[in-house]
A and B are shown apart, each in its own frame.
Chain A
Amino acid sequence: MPEDPPYVDPDAAPAPEEPQAPDPTPKTDEVPE
C-alpha cells in the first residue's frame, strides 16, 4: 500500500526560516498605566 501524502495545512504561511530558537518566545513585560 502506498503511504498517504503528507498533510499540508492550507492555512499555513510559508515555513519559518532557520534557525529557530530552542526556547519559547519571551513573555512581555508589565507596562505602566
Chain B
Amino acid sequence: MSDIFVKQLDGCTYKSGGFNCTCASHGMWMYRASGGTLRKTACQVRTATGDTSGGTNLEQMQSVSSHFGVSRGTLYRPGLFANIRQLVLSGRHGAHFQIGYRLLANTQWDCFSGGFTGAHDLYVAGGDGNNAHYADPGADGRRPGIPNGYQNIPWAFLERACSALPLAPGVTLGQEFGSGRVYSLVTPADPIASGIHITMQIDGYTPLYYSPGGMRDGAVTKATYITTRSLVDHIWWYRIISKADGAKTANAGKFFKPTRYTRPI
C-alpha cells in the first residue's frame, strides 16, 4: 500500500495550520485506510471537525473518518508500544502516534528549528526492525534544514518520544501509565490482494466504493475493467486497475463487489 505526505502548514483559514498536525496526519491515515482513494488536506480534515479551538485529538479523527465514510480504526488509549509497532511492521497498518516533541527538538528530525517542545502527532506508515518510517506533518522543507517528507527514526527513540507526550502540566504519558505505551489510532488492515488480474465485465447498475465496505463513490452501468480482488469479511471485492485495454480510467482505485451484472471474462 502506498502512502502520501500531507503537510499541516497549508494556509488554512478555517484554523491556522500550526494547530493542525493531527489533521494532516489524518489525511495520510485516511488515504491508507481508504485503499488510496480518499485524499484530504489538513485544512479539509480540520474543517470536518467543526472545531476551531486549539489543536485536535484522536477521538475527533475517528469522527472525521465516519464523516468521510472510512473505517474509524482502532484507538489505543494508550496501547503497548511494542504491540502497535508489530501491527505497523506487518505491513498492513498505518497509525497516528502522539508524541512529546521535547525529545525531537534540535535533532535531525526536528521540523520546527528548536522552537517547539509540546504535544505533536505523527503518521507512521511502516518500518523495519530498527526504524519507523514516518511523516511529521511539519516536514515540508519550507526552509533549509527542515526535513522534507517521510523520515526514518529508531523505534526506541520514538518510543521515548511517545512516553514524553505531555498530558497536563508536569505530567507525561509515561509518568501516568508507565513506560512503553503510546496513544495511537491504527488503520484497519490493508486488504490482501490476490495479485492476479481479473477482467470483469459490468452490464448493469453496479455501485462503486472508496474502500471495501466503505463509502459509496458513484456507480457504473456498462464497463469492462482489469481488476484485482481481495476477500474482505467473506465478500470478494474487486479493485479497478484500468480499462480492459489497459487505458487509464477515472475509476481506478475504486472498488465494487459482485452483483448480478458483473462477471469475469
Judge: A and B partners, yes or no.
Answer: yes
Interface residues on B, range: 35 or more
Q: Which residue of B lies closest to A21 (CB)?
A: B77
Task: Name the segment of B54-62, B152-160, B215-223, B247-255 touching the other chain.
Answer: B54-62
Q: Provide the A14-33 mask, 1 if CB < 8 A to any CB of B, else 0.
A: 11110111001111111111
Could you say which residues of chain B place their CB within 8 Å of the CB of A31? 8, 18, 21, 101, 111-112, 116, 118, 120, 138
Interface residues on A, range: 20 to 34
Contact check, B80 vs A17: say whether CB atoms are below 8 A apart.
yes
Could you count the A-B residue pairs with CB atoms below 8 Å apart for me: how many are there? 102
Contact check, A11 vs B213: say whether CB atoms are below 8 A apart.
yes
Closest Cβ–Cβ distance, residue B86 to chain A (whole Å): 10
Q: Which residue of A lies closest to B214 (CB)?
A: A11
Q: Which residues of B42-83 are within 8 A (CB) of A? A: 54-59, 71, 73-80, 83
Which residues of A are interface residues toward B (Cβ below 8 A)?
A: 10-17, 19-21, 24-33
What are 5 contact pairs spanning A and B, CB under 8 A?
A16-B74, A17-B76, A28-B119, A30-B54, A31-B116
* Given contact pairs A13-B188, A21-B77, a sample of 9 additional A-B residue pairs in the complex whose CB atoms are under 8 Å apart: A11-B188, A13-B73, A15-B74, A16-B75, A17-B80, A26-B166, A31-B8, A31-B101, A31-B118
Which residues of B are interface residues toward A (Cβ below 8 A)?
A: 8-9, 16-19, 21-22, 54-59, 71, 73-80, 83, 87, 93, 98, 101, 111-113, 115-116, 118-121, 138, 142, 165-167, 176-177, 183, 186, 188-189, 213, 232-233
